Structure 1
């Protein structure tokens, strides 16, 4: 047992020795490795110390290289506009007539974008390029303006004659659609670049100004003949002739202006932006309205010189021009105020004319040195009524003037106090209740002034109430007839009631005053306490004989004298009546009034006393039938 155990120990001891030897070798190797590591660490430090400065230099070189690249890019950007300027300048300098217009405008658009970028960069080095591009854009815009102007001049080279279009009821010519498209393209570009190029705060673009200038001259020149004709047709051939509606050329002038204006508005809308329509349209029409204003001033001077006969031309102008402004405002939304301003002088003249017509009526009557001795009406009555009748043809403007003046505002005192702004722009020509009422009031004043002044003049120049009554009755008859036979009748509904009670009754009463003298001869005294008195008007011939028989000689002589005086006065008045120049309605009316007054009296008187001369006719010259025949001859 001992022997095997020793063998095991010997083997283990050998292994231990081997392990110990290996450990010794490991320690020796570890020391060598540690020495190598120490040497490697020392070498690494040496390498780091040597390489560190090289790495730092490399980083700095990389940053510098990046900066250089950025500088090169900036230089390229600075040089790029210069290169592009050469290309675009060649296109723009060639002009729009040598290429497609859209290509030309596209080149301008590119230059505009580049110019905006350059200005945004705010580099001093780009200032030269900014100046070059600005000049290039201005040149291009000027070239486009020239094309714009040329296209407009081609369409406005020949003026039109508006009268031909008016007479044939044809639409006025407009610019061709292809030209409109080109003009719109040019205007769109110039409008968009105008703000960038403009150095001022001007609101009107070059295309707006060019359009207004060229097309405005075209419209004004086209209307020149109508303007001249309007002034020419105002000249009077007969000094005292009252103006008749439509005689003057102002209506055609207004029609022509309206047609050309609306045609121009149709041109403007496709070319310009919506917010530019009004300004361009107003500017285009400005020169034409200037000429129109001059024409109306000339007409106003003519009206003032012939106010009593041609004030109606003023009313017609107010109506036509106001209607024109309403239609243009409805269709375009413009020109209401400029057109209204052209009417100011004529409005003032028309306002004054209403009072002047009454004053002229009074003045003309007061200057009369004689009146017809046959009681005939004077011409001034017809003249005044013709004026009043003529006003009905211009009822809308006249009513508007009357409304602006107010009731009784046409008198001299009120006219002097009225402001020039009191006459509004006519918005409508529907004559309302106020307008009719004021017209009736004005007509009453005019007719009242006529009749009252004629009555005063008759009392001065005509002898006898009868003649004066005939004179007033004749003049009133003409007034009444001219009202009833014209458009005045529905406008003066209260005329008959108001004036007939006053003036026709006054004339009739004055005329009948002379007939009361023979009527006095037919009045007798009857004693009711005496028997045998016949009923009034109911006695026959037997009764007359009885009555006459019962009279005393003195009473009979008095009756004979009454019949004798009556016969003389009656025949005198019959002859006098037939010597008067009576209007037909006056003649019949006065005859009727005389018959109503005289016949019943004579009939009663004759029934009672015709037997005074026993039928010999020495004193009782007329029986009842003969008297009626004599009275019937008055009609």
Structure 2
């Protein structure tokens, strides 16, 4: 029974397990069928989606096109509304423009004209035919507005600009020259800023000075500058004409210094005006344009002065040196303060600077010509005027040493030795000679060299002409040269030439002093010939020399009658020649120093020879004085009287 029971239990469990498997298999089959149905549905859905896309795609593209078209239409509508605004507000802007900047107020006026410009630009960009009439009306308004603004600038500037001022008032009181009033700078600056901007935008000239208001400024202010400086320019040429044409020009007696001083003050004040009205990049061009008429007048004035200097080179070359210094100083000061006008001023100065350079050589040539033109010279050896005149010229040059030094440095040491050399060395400020780059060049040293060259040219010319006119009479020529040397030396010592020629003076003058002495004492050699003797005696009777006192009586006893006659003739010839020399010495016109120098030279040459001759042969006339006119004391007294 038990086994039966257990067997029935297992059977029931197996049946139950089979039933569960059947259920699971049934569900799996349904799942498989469901999967197939789902796959079939997905296939149909995909096919349907493709069809939808094929149909919906074109519709989407059309929708986008419609959106763009809509946006464009909105933009056009907006643009039309914007374009209608200027036309609608034209009457309001026109009212402001008609009022002008003075009544409407400068800020309000500028704002209005800027709005009109913007509206005009927008309407031109639209290029709609319907707006052409409005564009034309806006252009008319803008043009009218610009013209009124320029006229307002002109009116305001002229109201602040006098016809001229008295420059001497500011120079004598050391007051700065006047500028435009500060409250006008802002108004003029605003107007310039707008008009200059319009000028550039409209494709006008790129040159700042070509802007309408810049032209107005240059015209108005240049007239003021020219009128103020006109009288001083005229005074500069008038003061060049001296009452005595032969008088040497003196520093500061020409009006060029005051003229340059006034120009400097005026132009610096004008540059300040320009800096307060115009933009930084416009300062230089506008300043140049404003100053141009005044610079042209300066150039004309300097040309006139240069012509006068060239006509009166000997007396007025110093004016050329002064002009070089003054205008160079003006150029340097303006360059430092404004950075402008250096080239223009250099061009104006160039003719005078070239004359200053060439004058150095021409003065030397003139010295030669004047000496060569002399038709007579004093027969007593008196100094001729050209000596002191030449030295006065050198003394006067010292007063202009600064400009002369600069001229000489640019010319080069020795560049004055011929007119051709001076002209070849000439060049403007733009093309200086190589010597101007020599940092070690010393203008004073070069000037000292020029002075010694001048003295040498003078002395050589005088000697050459004297030999012709004085028929080669050496003593007279010697006196003339010695007098010249003494005058030259004195005029150096008594002037500012002395420190400049220290060391050079003695060297240069000693040569000529020795030459003068040689010429003057040439007569002494002729006189000395009479004091040389050749006596034939026997050995026992031969006079001793240098061995104690000489016994003239013993010597005479040993001479034959022929020798004695020869000694008498020598004494006689000596007396005549010596007396003639003494007479001439006293008749010559000599500087005291020259007379003493020559007296000493003559004494040193003749007295020892005469004393020796007298010691030997004075007993030839046994003290009667018939042949032996002078004893040693007497001839010494004569020499002393010559000093």
What does the per-residue CA deviation read over 1:435-484, in whole Å, with 9 as the maximum and x for residues that have no partner?
44544444444333322222122111114211121122222322333333
What does the per-residue CA deviation read over 1:290-310, in whole Å, with 9 as the maximum and x for residues that have no partner?
111111121122122223332
- The residue aligned with 2:98 is 93
- The residue aligned with 1:362 is 368
**Equivalent runs, 1:297-308 vs 2, <5 Å:** 297-308=303-314
- The residue aligned with 2:640 is 632
How far apart are 1:243 and its partner, in Å? 2.2
Secondary structure of the 1:343 match is: helix
- Maintained 8 Å contact 2:357/2:426: no
Gaps of 5+ in 2: 1-63
**Rounded Cα–Cα distance in structure 1 between residues aligned with 2:512 and 2:556:** 44
**Equivalent runs, 1:317-328 vs 2, <5 Å:** 317-328=323-334
Q: 1:171 to 1:64 in 2, by over 3 A?
A: closer
What does the per-residue CA deviation read over 1:223-263, in whole Å, with 9 as the maximum and x for residues that have no partner?
11111111111113223323222222111111111111111
**Rounded Cα–Cα distance in structure 1 between residues aligned with 2:569 and 2:495:** 52
**Rounded Cα–Cα distance in structure 2 between residues aligned with 1:143 and 1:552:** 129
How far apart are 1:418 and its partner, in Å? 5.3
**Equivalent runs, 1:482-521 vs 2, <5 Å:** 482-493=491-502, 495-496=504-505, 498-521=507-530
**Equivalent runs, 1:274-313 vs 2, <5 Å:** 274-313=280-319
- Maintained 8 Å contact 1:212/1:283: yes
Match for residue 597 of structure 1 among 581, 593, 605: 605
- The residue aligned with 2:421 is 414
**Rounded Cα–Cα distance in structure 1 between residues aligned with 2:405 and 2:207:** 45
Match for residue 452 of structure 1 among 437, 456, 460: 460
- The residue aligned with 1:522 is 531
Is it true that 1:476 corresponds to 2:485 in the alignment? yes
**Rounded Cα–Cα distance in structure 1 between residues aligned with 2:68 and 2:498:** 108
What does the per-residue CA deviation read over 1:279-327, in whole Å, with 9 as the maximum and x for residues that have no partner?
1111111000011111112112212222333222222222221221111
How far apart are 1:332 and its partner, in Å? 0.9
- Of residues 200-209 and 551-560 in structure 1, the stretch that sits farther from structure 2 once superposed is 551-560
How far apart are 1:614 and its partner, in Å? 5.9
Q: 1:298 to 1:546 in 2, by over 3 A?
A: same
Q: 1:151 to 1:597 in 2, by over 3 A?
A: farther
Match for residue 262 of structure 2 among 234, 256, 259: 256
**Equivalent runs, 1:206-605 vs 2, <5 Å:** 206-406=212-412, 408-410=414-416, 411-415=418-422, 417=424, 420-421=427-428, 424=431, 433=441, 435-463=443-471, 464-493=473-502, 495-496=504-505, 498-524=507-533, 536=546, 539=549, 558-605=566-613
Count of aligned positions? 577
Secondary structure of the 2:400 match is: helix
Match for residue 167 of structure 1 among 165, 169, 172: 172
How far apart are 1:490 and its partner, in Å? 4.0
**Rounded Cα–Cα distance in structure 2 between residues aligned with 1:414 and 1:83:** 81
Gaps of 5+ in 1: 1-58
Match for residue 193 of structure 1 among 192, 198, 206: 198
- Of residues 547-556 and 147-156 in structure 1, the stretch that sits farther from structure 2 once superposed is 547-556
Q: 1:562 to 1:273 in 2, by over 3 A?
A: same
- Maintained 8 Å contact 1:138/1:197: no
- Of residues 193-202 and 225-234 in structure 1, the stretch that sits farther from structure 2 once superposed is 193-202
**Rounded Cα–Cα distance in structure 2 between residues aligned with 1:184 and 1:596:** 91
Q: 1:61 to 1:500 in 2, by over 3 A?
A: closer
- The residue aligned with 2:16 is none
Q: 1:249 to 1:67 in 2, by over 3 A?
A: closer
Q: 1:116 to 1:99 in 2, by over 3 A?
A: same
How far apart are 1:606 and its partner, in Å? 4.4
- Maintained 8 Å contact 2:409/2:441: no
Secondary structure of the 1:247 match is: coil
**Equivalent runs, 1:58-207 vs 2, <5 Å:** 72-121=77-126, 123-197=128-202, 199=204, 201=206, 203=208, 204-207=210-213
Give the TM-score taking structure 2 as reference length: 0.79
- Maintained 8 Å contact 2:541/2:558: no
RMSD between aligned alpha carbons? Answer: 3.6
- Of residues 125-134 and 504-513 in structure 1, the stretch that sits farther from structure 2 once superposed is 125-134
- Maintained 8 Å contact 1:474/1:582: yes
Secondary structure of the 1:175 match is: coil
Secondary structure of the 1:631 match is: helix
How far apart are 1:562 and its partner, in Å? 3.7
**Rounded Cα–Cα distance in structure 2 between residues aligned with 1:422 and 1:271:** 33
**Rounded Cα–Cα distance in structure 2 between residues aligned with 1:109 and 1:148:** 17
Q: 1:128 to 1:554 in 2, by over 3 A?
A: same
- Maintained 8 Å contact 1:347/1:423: no
- Maintained 8 Å contact 1:537/1:603: no
- Of residues 233-242 and 529-538 in structure 1, the stretch that sits farther from structure 2 once superposed is 529-538
Q: 1:63 to 1:211 in 2, by over 3 A?
A: closer
Secondary structure of the 1:575 match is: helix
How far apart are 1:565 and its partner, in Å? 3.3
- Of residues 220-229 and 465-474 in structure 1, the stretch that sits farther from structure 2 once superposed is 465-474
What does the per-residue CA deviation read over 1:504-526, in whole Å, with 9 as the maximum and x for residues that have no partner?
21111111111223333334458
